[in-house]
Amino acid sequence: MIVTLVYVKVKKEYVDQFIVATEANHRGSVREPGNLRFDILRQSGDPCSFVLYEAYQSEEAAAAHKQTPHYVEWRNVVEPWMAEPRRGVPYDILQPEDPSRW
């Protein structure tokens, strides 16, 4: 099981559209068979800064996410709204190690 933390800074004028597009990506992602979580967070006091918490059963499931129509649509539509390049940081999961707690 792995997590990718994706850090996103959005241009101020596109924040509302970014949230709509990312919520659509969320709805598609949580239906993928290998998905464990796809949380959307906004930094307190910094309304243009977001984190996506993307948990998958395996590297393969995370890679398959990037082939899905909802991801490809999201990636393309949000691209011009970025204030800086997105940054994805991969993590191994130490806890919970029980898959039923994901």
Q: Which residues bind a copy of itself (CB under 8 A)?
A: 2-3, 5, 19, 22-23, 26, 30, 38-45, 50-51, 53, 89-96
60 or 96: CB nearest a copy of itself = 96
CB 84, CB 21: distance < 8 Å: no
User: Residue 30 or residue 72: which is nearer to a copy of itself going by CB?
Assistant: 30
We find the least distance from the C-beta atom of residue 31 to a copy of itself, in angstroms, to be 13
Using the structure block, give the residue that is written with the tokens 């949230």: 19
Q: Which amino acid is at 61?
A: A
Give the C-alpha separation, 67 to 46, whole Å: 31
